Amino acid sequence: MKIVDIEVIELRVPPMDQECTWGEDALLVKVTTDTGLVGIGESDTSPMVARAVIEAPSSNLYCSGLKSLLIGENPLEIQKLWDKMYWGSNYLGRRGAGIHAISAIDIALWDIASQFYQVPIHMLLGGKYREKIKAYGTFIPVEEPIENKKIAKKLKEQGFTSLKFGGGVMGDYDDVDYEIVKAIREEVGDEFELQIDLASKWNTYGRAAKMFKRLEKFNLNWIEEPILADDMKGYAKLSGLTGAKIAGGESLTTRYEFKDFLEYAQPDIVQPDITRCGGISEMRKIFDLAVMNGTKLVPHGFSTGILLAATVQFLAATQEGDLMEYSQSDSPLFTDLVKNLLPFENGYISVPDCIGLGVELDEELIKKYRVN
């Protein structure tokens, strides 16, 4: 079996000249083989940048577009091809968008392998530890603190026992952050599991430390990305400052970045995104590092149903992989791109025994939002 084509599909809901936010654009890849088997993958990144990483012609030994490296190769040699992509893009890649693009292709290769061997991906990864995975819901809060009560109430009624909110205005003004957390805590009650996500917008250790103390009475389960992941000393100093756990790492890629982050930042929870960190192959290595550092891995995931399907297959085959994120984005790329989106039911996502990722794409929706 040989790879004969890699198609890159860029999707975007708002027009190019208008603001776009999390969940409103996506990069998909379709890896086609000479047998007719097709693998699907995605990366939650800047679609146009990742597209260039894949489609660029070769400039030299270490500046090759990923497609030029893979045409003619056997898609079943997943690790060998991962290494080939890593080495062949080493000047332009190694971190960031270079690895985001590799992630999309790696996921597509696992999709192909599962179809070829006719066993689920979780089986290829070593076996299924669980039938369902607990999911927490993530939403972007609205500006008026009190209005967030309605969102939280609705999600609690849907069966969520754990919620996270962040993005939007969170992190802009300390007093607004305080009021949003207060309103939502009042709505869901004292016992409910709540997480907040600052997307690094508290910027400095000093501001984060002050906010940690101010929010302590709201009994948060974790505080995510209070500061930039590069400020590893800042993370380490925040650790243990309050009862809340510290989470982070969604912006990091490869075992190399996660090794440093786990050792020096000492987070309680690490959150690689399977569509950014290097795909399913690299995620497994990062998981082992997390275990060796006494840190729980809870994957980041706020994009399409492709990311969701890949994350579920990975976690199912992971000994401690019992918690995941479930986007509450109303973007059509989350709600409708995958026609058989894995459903949230009574607090959990069931692990399907499907062949491949099992995602059925809505080709009409792709036509509608495709960037040409």
Q: List interacting residues with Mg ion (CB under 5 A).
A: 197
Strands of the chain (E only): list them.
3-12, 25-33, 38-43, 132-139, 162-166, 193-197, 222-224, 245-248, 269-270, 296-297, 323-327, 344-345, 348-350
3-state secondary structure of 355: coil
What is residue 352's DSSP assignment?
A: -
Residue nearer to Mg ion on the CB measure, 38 or 169: 169
Q: Rounded to the nearest whole angstrom, what is the least distance from the CB of residue 224 to Mg ion in the complex?
A: 5
Q: What minimum distance in Å lies between the beta carbon of 310 and Mg ion?
A: 18
CA dihedral 264, 268, 272, 273 (to 10 degrees): -150
Considering the complex, state which of residue 106 and residue 197 has its C-beta at the smaller distance from Mg ion: 197
Minimum CB–partner distance for residue 179 and Mg ion (Å): 21
As a whole number of angstroms, the distance between CA 235 and CA 112 comes to 39
The nearer residue to Mg ion, 88 or 272, going by C-beta atoms, is: 272
Q: Which of 349, 352, 354, 357 is nearest to 133 (CA)?
A: 349
CB of 240 to Mg ion, least distance (A): 21
Residue nearest to Mg ion (CB): 197
Helix axes 96-117, 78-88, angle to 10 degrees: 160
* In the complex, least distance from residue 372 CB atom to Mg ion, rounded to whole angstroms: 31
Residue 166 or residue 356: which is nearer to Mg ion going by CB? 166
**Smaller CB distance to Mg ion: residue 42 or 197?**
197
Q: Which is nearer to Mg ion, 33 or 138 (CB)?
A: 138
Q: Which residues pair with 8 in a beta bridge?
A: 29
Q: How far is the CB of 171 from Mg ion (least distance, A)?
A: 11
The gap between the terminal CA atoms of the chain, to the nearest Å, is 30
202, 211 Cβ separation under 8 angstroms:
yes
